[in-house]
Amino acid sequence: MLSFLPKDLQSSCLKAQTAAAAKVEPQKMVAAFKPASSQGASTGTESGGDTSIGARIRPLLPKEIEDHDVAGVYARSEEGYADVHELRRKVNGQPALNSSSFRLDKVYGPDQTSDDVYKDLVAPLVPWAWGGGISTLFAYGQTGSGKTHSVSELEKLAAAALMNGKLEGGRDVYICAFELVGKEAFDLLNDRRKIVVMEDAFGESQLVGAIEEKPATAEELISHIERSMSFRKTAATIKNDSSSRSHAVCRGSSKTWK
């Protein structure tokens, strides 16, 4: 069939077929991988105390599927393991699969939703913070791993839980958002005006110059969060056209009605 195609298209088709064929063997190697027993040794450890650590594995992106890329990370959610496969080449050019298994408190595969993550990791934080405690959600990962997607969904769910009136006691909710770029900090709710992060005599962080907003509804709270994120410093990368090039912190607090 290729003989009926223009030469440039023939070349393109041949390259695509070659690329796809080159990745068949790694796919077979991944499929043949036998994970270690849940009782066996692992390169990861479970967290302890009041901290829970989870991993969410995103699906392949359209461009990765188009390039016939092979998924290298798999979830064993029921057992709490993430299996990571790294393709390498031996000295003789033959492919070799370097596989590791990591144990975490929670592991979510591409088919699991933000609701699943929220129920396990975020929902318990909401009443604790409402009652005066300190709850922290921290997301990290390389560019293009899905942090912004996951966190934005979790923020919406947390905002709804905070503002739906089902939590015990009457309180006002306040929010501030700032960005850390190197040694400088900027208020994301006030046109990125520069602020100063200081520690008081009690060891608590104070944001000098930052403003707080007082949302009345979940929609207002989400609107403030989305507005603050629009002011973040971004730059294009290979994986992401608008990758965040800084650390953003969204801090909420509640105060009892007088």
Name residues of the chain where pLDDT drops below 50. 1-21, 39-41, 235-243
Q: Is the dihedral of CA 192, 193, 197, 202 positive or negative?
A: negative
Rounded to whole angstroms, the Cα distance separating 68 from 73 reads 15
Q: Residue 188 is encoded by which pair of tokens?
A: 């994301």
- DSSP per residue over 26-51, as a string? HHHHHHT--PPPTTS--SS----TT-
Contact 243, 234 (CB under 8 A): yes
- pTM value is 0.76
Rg of the chain in Å (alpha carbons): 23
- Residue 102, Cβ neighbours under 10 Å: how many? 17
Write out pLDDT tens, residues 8-67.
Answer: 443 444 444 444 445 556 677 777 766 655 544 455 555 556 899 999 999 999 999 998
Q: Can you list the positions of beta strands (E) in 90-233?
A: 95-103, 106-108, 171-181, 184-187, 193-199, 205-208
